[in-house]
């Protein structure tokens, strides 16, 4: 077997970004949640908000630190493995990536220091403001990196000069056609992911009878947010799908598992895609429904993949299954949230329903899985292009790389990430187990170092400062 | 026609790289010296001396990388694949080193592992950066806009020499930092080890200064042709002067002097390399102007950078101010 540097570079990219994306999936939502908690504390002055905020801020700091460390890896991937892509697109993409880095550092890192350690150093309004700025920073980071990704999916505002993309209109580049939908769908997904973590952690704390007052508030806040965001996400996903149909029809055909163009188009519920023979095996289909869902009319047509030459079709299996996994998780989430709301509204039965609290713990990872599934759907679905319709993935790889070069680097990334991430996750789980701390211990945070990741845990419980 | 922004980006990128080298340099150097620290208590102090600031320093690596990518993308696309493995090893070493800060105190059973990760990660990351520097000075085999060599072209005696040289350099910065931040026995230890590092640094500077003009005719021409030789002769004289002052400062100078002397040596070396290579960004093939991104790209990023960078610098200065003074045993990672 020969080692293919293109395939291995793609796998390596998938590996480092899949781990990295888990962190923003959590920190973007959590930063906003902390800002809301700090807002409640600022306006009501009740200590319970302060304790919940402190609890989550400690966890936020750990995941933010891991995000920084795994994020430093990312920009270098463009140079090491995708130098041709970099040379061709940097004039358009690099300022957006640079803004992502600058703003992430500027707002998140600097204000996180104040948020973590400044409770006694700055007035309360300034502390609240710091929380808002951290949240704003995570959103700006999402804005720039998703603008970058969206431009690769739906490029606009460029000229091609000597085979390289050169900016012509920055507004058109940043606000390219798929960007608003991707941004809304992603940020909402991050919020939902975080809310399910808050829900699950709240359920755990109630069951362990640790900080029950705080935990009940967490559960209620999470469920009240989710009953709005989960249906909203289904709506946003639908809009995003319509946008994909318009700008990336081949991706949509892959998501639908549609090889042949049929009018009106049925909806394929499940099947086993066979790219070689361009056919869906064991397809389970509902007539006409595809047209209704995708075009919002009974007789709209979805082009099948056979309308494209074989070398311009994405592989079907990943987008097909990835999409179904994402939708299935969405439906499970909806069910959990509806049941939770019913239990919550019937005189707080929820806090005594051990089975439901357990369920909340089990569904905690679902948001992360959905984010990864959605990401696989959109990224594999746009193959074989890195700049959609214009630059092929196979033309993007660094020309000097051999298969064994990339095999070595990929193996090393696998080993290091398999040490680093489980350790970090175990560390966060330890913080959860300790539960929300009372005022004295929360105060100890401030005697630590006014700086970023993990610092809070640096404090000895016996400190008397 | 837009203003030529290439000089501005050259200065910005040069400053960012120099900032990174000095600031992450001293905390990587502290990591290298950590392995030689006499006992557990001093190891904790050594680590705590950079605890609050190392991650901010490391962020400048991203600024440097993204700055090169945005302002001189062709250079990024040629240089980074050429140093595929040094970059890989550097990144992984930095990851290990970074998490070691956090995990060392949480899991006593694994403490020795994380101790090793902190020191080993610092050593390897530094060596890899030195190799990148050496490979950069050597130049690259290219074909059009692409790197045309192999992923092992960096394995040369010269690049390995610069790798070792940078370890002494960063360790000297680290010793300077420790002298500034500690007192008593630990400080005396740092002064002693600083002198050993200084000897290593001077041997390295001398070797590179002799090697490069012999191996690269364009560098010899730059330094030894008339009238350049007249203008540039102060550079080695200043280097020698700083070296003598640094040697004395390490013996009994004020606490801040050895660190400043080390920064001075780095600055003069940095200037020396810049003189040797100017105006090349992909040495011996492409100039800064040839490798530059479009004026529109450079302008678009410059607007935000000029706004954000001063604020980042002010915040950074403030956080150093907060942690001024000697590091204490009772605050930090316990």
Per-residue pLDDT for A412 more than 90? yes
pLDDT in tens, A238-269: 888 888 888 888 888 888 888 888 777 888 87
Task: Find the angle CA(B169)-CA(B199)-CA(B191) to the nearest 5 degrees.
Answer: 80
Domain that holds residue A24: 1-176+402-465
The dihedral over CA atoms of A78, A81, A83, A86, expressed in degrees to the nearest 10, equals -30
Q: What percent of chain A has pLDDT over 70?
A: 92
In a domain, B2, yes or no: no
Helix, strand, or coil (residue A279) = strand
DSSP state of A362: H
A57-69 burial by CB neighbour count: b if 16+ within 10 A, else e?
bbbbbbbbbbbbb
HSE-CB for A270 with a 13 A CA cutoff:
3
Neighbours of A139 (CB within 10 A): 17
Cis peptide before B279, with omega less than 30 degrees from 0? Answer: yes
CA distances from A220 to A37, A188, A203, B216 (A): 13, 19, 10, 70
DSSP state of A270: E
In a domain, A106, yes or no: yes
Q: Which helix (H) or strand (E) holds A387?
A: strand A385-387
Predicted pLDDT at B106: 63
In a domain, B329, yes or no: no
Two tokens, residue A117: 């350690």
In a domain, B160, yes or no: yes
Looking at per-residue pLDDT, the higher value among A23 and A122 belongs to A23
Across the interface, which of A79, A105, A449 has its CB nearest the CB of B76?
A79
Two tokens, residue B81: 């694949």
Two tokens, residue A204: 């755990």
Predicted pLDDT at A330: 93
Tally of residues, chain B: 334
Of B218, B226, B186, which Cα lies nearest the Cα of B44?
B186
Domain that holds residue B66: 7-322
Predicted pLDDT at B310: 86
Q: Are A258 and A245 in contact (CB under 8 A)?
A: no
Q: Are A90 and B70 in contact (CB under 8 A)?
A: yes
Which whole number is the average pLDDT over A316-345?
A: 91
Across the interface, which of A80, A94, A449 has its CB nearest the CB of B51?
A449
* Cα dihedral B247, B251, B257, B259 sign: positive
Contact criterion met (CB < 8 Å) for A170 and B300: yes
Predicted pLDDT at A450: 34
Q: Which residues numbered 115-144 in A keep a CB inside 8 Å of some CB on B?
A: none
Predicted pLDDT at A322: 92
Per-residue pLDDT for A15 more than 90? yes
A vs B, Cβ pairs < 8 A, gives 215
Q: Does A92 touch chain B (CB under 8 A)?
A: yes
Q: Please, which residues have CB within 8 angstroms of residue A195's CB and are 6 or more apart in sequence? A: A29, A33, A222, A225, A226, A229, A367
Predicted pLDDT at A310: 84
Cα A289 → chain centroid: 29
Choose the mutation target among A13, A62, A63, A69 for the interface with B, i.e. most B CBs under 10 Å: A69
Contact criterion met (CB < 8 Å) for A78 and B145: no
DSSP state of A401: -
In a domain, A341, yes or no: no
Task: Find the angle CA(B202)-CA(B208)-CA(B209) to the nearest 5 degrees.
Answer: 85
Q: Does B313 touch chain A (CB under 8 A)?
A: no
Q: Does A239 touch chain B (CB under 8 A)?
A: no
Task: Name the residue of chain B whose CA is nearest to A419's CA.
Answer: B96
User: First-to-last CA distance in chain B?
Assistant: 58
DSSP state of A312: G
Q: Which helix (H) or strand (E) holds A16?
A: helix A5-44
Phi, psi of A25 (to 5 degrees): -55, -30
Phi, psi of A244 (to 5 degrees): -65, -40
Between strands A164-167 and A158-161, the pairing is antiparallel
Q: Does A412 touch chain B (CB under 8 A)?
A: yes
Predicted pLDDT at B157: 92
Using a CB-CB cut-off of 8 Å, the residues of chain A touching B301 are: 94-95, 98-99
Between strands A279-286 and A385-387, the pairing is unpaired
* Closest chain A C-alpha to B297 CA, distance in angstroms: 6
Tally of residues, chain A: 465
**B285-288, Cβ contacts within 8 angstroms, sequence gap of 24 or more:** B285/B78, B285/B139, B285/B140, B285/B142, B286/B74, B286/B75, B286/B78, B288/B6, B288/B10, B288/B72
Cα A353 → chain centroid: 31
In a domain, A109, yes or no: yes
Q: Does B315 touch chain A (CB under 8 A)?
A: yes
Between strands A391-392 and A267-274, the pairing is unpaired
Helix, strand, or coil (residue B287) = strand
pLDDT grade for A453, boundaries at 50, 70 and 90: very low
In a domain, A56, yes or no: yes
Q: To 10 degrees, what angle do helices A317-345 and A212-247 make?
A: 140
Q: Are A24 and A141 in contact (CB under 8 A)?
A: yes
- What span, in angstroms and rounded, lies between the C-alpha atoms of A110 and A93? 25
Predicted pLDDT at B329: 59
Task: Compute chain A's Rg from CA coordinates.
Answer: 24
In a domain, A15, yes or no: yes
Q: Does B116 touch chain A (CB under 8 A)?
A: no
Across the interface, which of A75, A109, A412 has its CB nearest the CB of B65?
A75
In a domain, A225, yes or no: no
In a domain, A356, yes or no: no
Per-residue pLDDT for A455 more than 50? no
Two tokens, residue A272: 């086993």
Ranges of chain B with pLDDT below 50? 331-334
Using a CB-CB cut-off of 8 Å, the residues of chain A touching B70 are: 90, 94-95, 97-98
Using a CB-CB cut-off of 8 Å, the residues of chain B touching A409 are: 84-85, 88
pLDDT in tens, A99-134: 988 887 777 667 777 777 766 777 888 888 888 988
Alpha helix stretches (DSSP H) within chain B:
6-34, 40-50, 54-71, 73-82, 84-103, 111-138, 157-181, 184-215, 217-224, 228-232, 234-252, 257-277, 288-291, 295-322
* Closest chain B C-alpha to A255 CA, distance in angstroms: 34
Using a CB-CB cut-off of 8 Å, the residues of chain A touching B103 are: 423, 427
Across the interface, which of A72, A84, A400 has its CB nearest the CB of B151?
A400
Two tokens, residue A397: 């790889």
pLDDT in tens, A343-401: 888 877 888 888 999 999 999 999 999 999 999 999 998 988 999 888 888 888 888 88
Predicted pLDDT at A249: 86
In a domain, A369, yes or no: no
* Closest chain A C-alpha to B23 CA, distance in angstroms: 16
Q: Does B156 touch chain A (CB under 8 A)?
A: no
Phi, psi of B287 (to 5 degrees): -85, 170
Total tally of structural domains belonging to chain B: 1
A374-402 burial by CB neighbour count: b if 16+ within 10 A, else e?
bbbbbbbbbbebbbbeebbbbebbbebbe
- What span, in angstroms and rounded, lies between the C-alpha atoms of B119 and B97? 7
Q: Which residues numbered 164-203 in A keep a CB inside 8 Å of some CB on B?
A: 166-167, 170
Predicted pLDDT at B72: 92
Cis peptide before A214, with omega less than 30 degrees from 0? Answer: no
In a domain, B163, yes or no: yes
Choose the mutation target among A104, A454, A465 for the interface with B, i.e. most B CBs under 10 Å: A454
Q: To 10 degrees, what angle do helices A110-117 and A47-80 make?
A: 150
Q: Which residues numbered 130-149 in B keep a CB inside 8 Å of some CB on A?
A: 145-149
Predicted pLDDT at B166: 94
* Closest chain A C-alpha to B230 CA, distance in angstroms: 40
Whose tokens are 């998780």? That residue is: A329
What DSSP letter does each residue of B37-88 carry, written as one string? -SSHHHHHHHHHHHTTTHHHHHHHHHHHHHHHHHH-HHHHHHHHHHTHHHHH
Cis peptide before A37, with omega less than 30 degrees from 0? Answer: no
ipTM score of the complex?
A: 0.86
User: First-to-last CA distance in chain A?
Assistant: 63
Contact criterion met (CB < 8 Å) for B70 and A401: no
Contact criterion met (CB < 8 Å) for A91 and B333: no
DSSP state of A165: E
Which whole number is the average pLDDT over A8-16?
A: 92
The dihedral over CA atoms of A19, A23, A29, A34, expressed in degrees to the nearest 10, equals 160
């Amino acid at each position: 077997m020969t080692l293919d540097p293109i395939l291995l570079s793609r796998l390596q990219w998938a590996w480092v970004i899949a781990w990295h994306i888990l962190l923003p999936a959590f920190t973007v939502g959590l930063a906003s949640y902390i800002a809301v908690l700090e807002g409640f504390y600022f306006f009501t002055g009740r200590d319970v908000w302060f304790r919940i905020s402190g609890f989550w801020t400690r966890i936020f700091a750990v995941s933010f630190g891991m995000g920084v460390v795994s994020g430093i890896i990312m920009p270098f991937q463009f140079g090491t493995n995708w130098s041709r892509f970099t040379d061709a697109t940097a004039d358009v993409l690099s300022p957006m990536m640079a803004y992502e880095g600058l703003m992430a550092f500027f707002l998140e890192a600097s204000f996180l220091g104040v948020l973590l350690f400044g409770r006694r150093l700055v007035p309360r309004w300034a502390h609240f403001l710091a929380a808002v700025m951290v949240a704003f920073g995570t959103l700006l980071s999402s804005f720039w990196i998703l603008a970058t990704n969206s431009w690769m999916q739906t490029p606009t505002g460029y000229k091609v000069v000597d085979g390289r993309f050169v900016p012509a209109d920055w507004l058109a580049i940043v606000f390219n056609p798929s960007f608003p939908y991707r941004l809304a769908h992603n940020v909402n997904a991050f919020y939902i992911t975080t809310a399910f973590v808050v829900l699950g952690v709240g359920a755990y704390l109630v069951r362990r009878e640790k900080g029950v007052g705080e935990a009940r508030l967490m559960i209620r806040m999470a469920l009240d947010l989710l009953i709005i965001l989960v249906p909203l996400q289904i709506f946003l996903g639908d809009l995003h799908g319509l946008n994909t149909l318009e700008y990336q029809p081949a991706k949509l055909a892959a998501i639908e598992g549609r090889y042949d163009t049929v009018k009106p188009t049925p909806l394929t519920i499940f099947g086993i895609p066979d790219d070689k023979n361009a056919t869906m095996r064991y397809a389970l289909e509902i007539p006409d429904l595809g047209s209704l869902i995708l075009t919002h009319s009974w007789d709209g047509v979805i082009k099948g993949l056979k309308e494209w030459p074989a070398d311009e079709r994405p592989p079907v299996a990943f987008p097909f299954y990835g999409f179904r996994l994402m939708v299935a998780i969405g439906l499970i989430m909806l069910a959990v949230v509806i049941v939770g709301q019913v239990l919550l509204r019937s005189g707080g039965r929820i806090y005594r329903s051990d089975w439901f609290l357990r369920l909340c713990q089990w569904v905690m990872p679902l948001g992360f899985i959905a984010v990864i599934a959605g990401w696989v759907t959109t990224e594999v679905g746009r193959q074989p292009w890195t700049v959609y319709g214009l630059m092929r993935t196979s033309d993007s790889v660094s020309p000097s790389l051999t298969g064994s070069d990339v095999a070595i680097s990929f193996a090393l990334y696998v080993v290091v990430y398999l040490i680093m991430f489980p350790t970090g996750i175990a560390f966060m789980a330890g913080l959860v187990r300790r539960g929300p701390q009372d005022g004295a211990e929360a105060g100890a945070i401030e005697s630590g170092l006014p700086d970023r990741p993990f610092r809070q845990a640096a404090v000895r419980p016996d400190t008397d400062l | 026609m837009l203003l030529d922004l290439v000089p501005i980006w050259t200065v910005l990128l040069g400053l960012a790289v120099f900032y990174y080298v000095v600031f992450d340099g001293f905390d990587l150097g502290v990591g290298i010296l950590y392995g030689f620290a006499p006992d557990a208590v001093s190891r904790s102090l050594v680590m705590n001396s950079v605890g609050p600031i190392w991650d901010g320093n490391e962020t400048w690596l991203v600024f440097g990388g993204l700055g090169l990518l945005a302002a001189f993308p062709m250079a990024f696309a040629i240089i980074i694949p050429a140093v595929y493995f040094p970059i890989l090893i550097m990144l992984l070493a930095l990851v290990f080193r970074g998490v070691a800060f956090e995990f060392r105190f949480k899991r006593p059973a694994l403490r020795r592992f994380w101790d090793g990760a902190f020191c080993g990660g610092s050593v390897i990351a530094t060596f890899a950066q030195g190799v990148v520097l050496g490979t950069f000075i050597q130049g690259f085999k290219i074909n059009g806009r692409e790197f045309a060599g192999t992923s092992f072209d960096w394995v040369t005696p010269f690049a390995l020499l610069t790798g070792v040289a940078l370890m002494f350099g960063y360790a000297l910065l680290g010793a300077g930092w420790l002298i500034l931040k500690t007192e008593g026995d630990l400080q005396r230890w740092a002064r002693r080890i600083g002198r050993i590092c200084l000897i290593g640094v001077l041997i390295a500077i001398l070797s590179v200064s002799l090697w490069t003009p012999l191996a690269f005719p364009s560098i010899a021409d730059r330094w030894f042709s008339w009238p350049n030789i007249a203008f540039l002769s102060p550079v080695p004289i200043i280097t020698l002067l700083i070296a003598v002052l640094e040697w004395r400062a390490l013996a009994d100078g004020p606490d801040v002097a050895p660190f400043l002397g080390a920064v001075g040596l780095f600055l003069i070396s940095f200037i020396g390399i810049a003189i040797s290579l100017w105006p090349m960004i992909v040495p011996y093939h492409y100039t800064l102007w040839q490798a530059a991104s479009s004026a529109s790209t450079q302008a678009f990023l410059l607007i935000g950078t000029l706004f954000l960078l001063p604020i980042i610098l002010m915040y950074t200065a403030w956080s150093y101010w907060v942690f001024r003074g000697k590091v204490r045993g009772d605050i930090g990672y316990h």
